[in-house]
Structure 1
């Protein structure tokens, strides 16, 4: 599969089969995230992989409660990856302050997109999830030192085909040489 094809055809999957993800494929997905570029090569991420049923279900039961209950669909996925923030090295942190841009969040997004595209190429669906109880996630993982779970990724073989969602027309979002 070409990268352009993966970009055009990848969908956020919310219904998965029970088929386990092969370790070799899971390793490829994680390596795609690990190889992502980052500001000042800070690599501001840690990936906590839940691929054992009991551990995954315990984590999901903790983070998808109350107002976050509608993301409980992820519990059926064979794998959940918790993306834990590391604010990056000193150089990138200075850049964050000067530009008032949290580059570590952008970097994590790039890593997650790499993983989602690699998964899709392997026939594995994913959904990047930002709607969960991050405080309970941090407590569940015993995080300290300013670390935070920023994003979750559910992974599994899609149980259904998902149609394309409408995209804005290029003319409405792209301009050349000036803002329109």
Structure 2
């Protein structure tokens, strides 16, 4: 597969087949992830893969809680929130055979001193985000679907995800990535803005 094909065919997949993903595919995803740029060469990321049924179910419920909290925050009417719950719990939206939680270890840094706390944190987040993109592009090559979940960062939810992962408070959750074989046809969405609207030459 050409890189352009992977880039143009990557899209957010929210429904997955009830089909296991081979462990070698999961390893290939993380191998691709750790080839991403990493600020100061720190490689201070941690990839926790949830594959067993019990922890996947617990994580799924945390995702559902986060989604409901998200839509309440944007004042979505109760009837639409109920439809969301139905899509999740009855139709299995975001229910996947694999979840990859991506963390950074905030203790691992290059520059000493509190004055550099914020840039060090931002650089670590950027490194993890680039790793996630590599993972998602590799997934396309392997015929897998992915979607980025950020609502697991809400207070109370992040702590529970971290606990599920067996990590301490020094670790920050960058995102959770459901992974699986897409259910139904995958159709990448067009971007709302044109290239000329977001591109500036100086």
TM-score tier after normalising by the smaller chain length:
0.7 to 0.9
8 Å CA contact retained: 1:21, 1:78: yes
Q: Given the alignment, which residue of 155, 167, 174 partners 2:199? A: 174
Runs of 4+ more than 6 Å apart:
none
Q: Normalization by structure 1: what TM-score?
A: 0.85
Deviations 1:16-62 (A, max 9, x none): 00111112111111111122220111112101101122221123224
Q: 1:29 to 1:108 in 2, by over 3 A?
A: same
Match of 1:105?
Answer: 125
1:80 to 99, 119, 131: 99
Note if 1:149 corresponds to 2:151. no
Displacement of 1:122: 0.5
> Which residue number in structure 2 is paired with residue 134 of structure 1?
158
Partner of 1:48: 48
Moved more, 85-94 or 43-52: 85-94
Q: Partners of 2:25 and 2:4 in 1: how far apart?
A: 20
Aligned counterparts of 1:98 and 1:48: Cα–Cα separation in 2: 25
Partner Cα distance (1:62, 1:30) in 2? 23
- The TM-score, its normalising length taken from structure 2, stands at 0.77
CA distance in 1: counterparts of 2:144 and 2:62, whole angstroms: 25
Distance in 2 (alpha carbons) for counterparts of 1:56 and 1:106: 26
Residue of structure 2 in register with 1:33 after alignment: 33
- Output the aligned Cα RMSD: 2.5
Aligned length: 176
Deviation at 1:98, TM superposition (A): 7.6
Q: Which moved more, 1:158-167 or 1:40-49?
A: 158-167
Question: SS where residue 152 of structure 1 aligns?
Answer: strand
